[in-house]
Amino acid sequence: MNPETKSNNIFKVIGASSLGTLIEWYDFYIFGSLATIIGSQLFPADAGASALINTLAIFAAGFIVRPFGALVFGRLGDLIGRKYTFLLTLVLMGGSTFLIGLIPSYSSIGYAAPILVLILRLIQGLALGGEYGGAATYVAEHAPKGKRGFFTSWIQTTATLGLFLSLGVIVLTKNMIGAAEFADWGWRVPFLLSIVLILVSVYIRMKMHESPMFSKLKSEGNISKNPLKESFSKKANFKMVLLALFGATMGQGVVWYTGQFYAQSFIENTCHVDFNDSRYMLLWGIAFATPFFVVFGAWSDKVGRKWIMLTGMLLGIIFYRPIYQEFLDRTDMSKVAQSDIKEIALPVMTKTQLHENGDSLLTTTTKINLLTGASFNKVSVDTVYAAVGKSIGHSAVLYKDKKLASNDFWVFVGLIFFQVLLVTMVYGPIAAFLVELFPTKIRYTSMSLPYHIGNGVFGGLVPFVATLIASFKGSTPLSGLWYPIGIAALCFVIGTVYLSNKRDENVND
């Protein structure tokens, strides 16, 4: 045995890998958690709804390039080793996140602001594309036979815990400095703090040794000379890459991002729930559900990975629309108290003119109103007519963010918990599932690509695509859900027909 491998205790491996991966997810997700505020900083004040959609598009860009990061860093990981590759990805991610916190706003440098942030998001996406495959492979190659699902499931908790950490830091920062200061400059603090977390993680990872399986391959001279070619030009291996993507990871990806990111966006932007309430609900739901990553990971060691993952997808297909309808019913805008409505005078205009100019006017007056300390959301022209039944040719109607009653708050927490529980079902076993599909010498490359296409493209686009669909004329607030439901349904069918539930106990080859 290589002398390096003796000092790599499995729990130290899990700790070092998980901490670094958690920090990378934290870095990646604070952007999505602050999309509304960041949009107001990156785009003109009169951009209206397009500011949020454009910001979500920048957020999505980081997901779209993740497969390219998987190819670049996966190849490096199979050529030079797992340890040094995901050290590099950690530094790239942390540096990009820190710099996002320093980018001036649109008012200072114009459209250079969103362009610079887009470039940094692309670097983040590339780095994350290399991080996950390295960490999951590293842990799996240390895990004892028969417990691979259990040990890799600890890595799976990091994506949700990274979101949890990002939400916690955001809420804490906002409450410490105040809402007005947070919207002005305080949103940068969570980005800047990441540099401290990155330095700690790099220090810990530097002390770890290479995985025993890769070390053995290296000492025997059996490292792949061209991981990309071996992964994708050999028919049998490429078939497994496609099966992993269309039978598992694309469905897992949309369930993950619907249950956590789209839920947050929907509750805040469609249901107009108070900023702190929406974050606290997610924090509670995530806290209650996170242990189930390990539960389902360990269970998959006993019963196989396939049916646990597919059941999570099926439950999402069945229950997403009822869950989001319940969100709407409990925040029905027709039941808004008069004390939570504010009218601001606008120039006299016809309904058609209001449709053409209303977004910019409402955005501007909302910004003015925020200076008073009250928190109001603008709503669409059609929503105002439908919910209030009053002509707004002479005034804009703004709704104060809703503070939910205690019973509604905990109902929301329960519905979020259920969605995150589905996330744990599809995500808990998937690292072990992917590791077992591919041989050691091309594992990093082969497993990273389907994982990051499934999560980065199909999953990462959920907030943007769903929000865009719901904005189309004639759409309802629930229309956006057809995207994740459709992808999950397709994946469920393919996985049911073609995936095997057989576990591969021997991954040393």
Report the range out of 202-206, 244-248, 346-350, 462-466 with the highest average pLDDT: 244-248
Tokens 């509750």 map to which residue? 267
**Per-residue model confidence (pLDDT) at position 505:** 60
User: Do the Cβ atoms of 269 and 430 come closer than 8 Å?
Assistant: no
Measured between alpha carbons, how far is 282 from 272 in angstroms, rounded to an integer? 15
Could you give the C-alpha distances from 471 to 44, 180, 380, in angstroms and in order? 20, 28, 10
Residue 267, pLDDT > 60, answer: yes
Q: Under DSSP, is residue 260 helix (H, G, I), strand (E, B) or coil? A: helix
User: Do the Cβ atoms of 68 and 61 come closer than 8 Å?
Assistant: no
- Backbone phi, then psi, for 431, in 5-degree steps? -65, -45
Residue 307, pLDDT > 70, answer: yes
Residue 353, pLDDT > 50, answer: no
Tokens 């005078």 map to which residue? 345
Report pTM: 0.74
Cβ contacts of 459 within 8 Å, gap of 6 or more: 63, 250, 252, 253, 254, 255, 256, 257
Report the range out of 78-82, 126-130, 178-182, 496-500 with the highest average pLDDT: 496-500
- 273 forms beta bridges with 402
Region 357-366 average pLDDT: 42
User: Do the Cβ atoms of 480 and 463 come closer than 8 Å?
Assistant: no
Region 16-21 average pLDDT: 73
Cβ contacts of 383 within 8 Å, gap of 6 or more: 333
Residue 238, pLDDT > 70, answer: yes
**Confidence class of residue 346 from pLDDT cuts 50, 70 and 90?**
very low
Residue 509, pLDDT > 70, answer: no
Cβ contacts of 227 within 8 Å, gap of 6 or more: 74, 75, 78, 79, 441, 442, 444, 445, 446
Per-residue pLDDT tens over the stretch 149-163: 898 888 888 878 888
**Per-residue model confidence (pLDDT) at position 419:** 96
Q: How is the beta sheet containing 395-400 ordered, strand by strand?
A: 341-345, 395-400, 376-377
**Confidence class of residue 506 from pLDDT cuts 50, 70 and 90?**
low
The H-or-E segment that residue 396 falls in is strand 395-400
Measured between alpha carbons, how far is 435 from 430 in angstroms, rounded to an integer? 9
Residue 364, pLDDT > 80, answer: no
Measured between alpha carbons, how far is 366 from 153 in angstroms, rounded to an integer? 44
DSSP structure class, residue 225: S
Domains and CATH numbers, the chain: 8-330+405-498 (1.20.1250.20), 333-400 (no CATH)
Report the range out of 66-70, 351-355, 357-361, 427-431 with the highest average pLDDT: 427-431
Average pLDDT taken over every residue of the chain: 77
Residue 69, pLDDT > 70, answer: yes
**Confidence class of residue 423 from pLDDT cuts 50, 70 and 90?**
very high
* Residue scoring higher pLDDT (359 or 304): 304
Q: DSSP letter string over 41-94?
A: HHS-TT-THHHHHHHHHHHHHHHHTHHHHHHHHHHHHHHH-HHHHHHHHHHHHH
**Confidence class of residue 349 from pLDDT cuts 50, 70 and 90?**
very low
Tokens 């939910």 map to which residue? 404
**Per-residue model confidence (pLDDT) at position 324:** 95
User: Do the Cβ atoms of 266 and 157 come closer than 8 Å?
Assistant: no
**Confidence class of residue 383 from pLDDT cuts 50, 70 and 90?**
very low
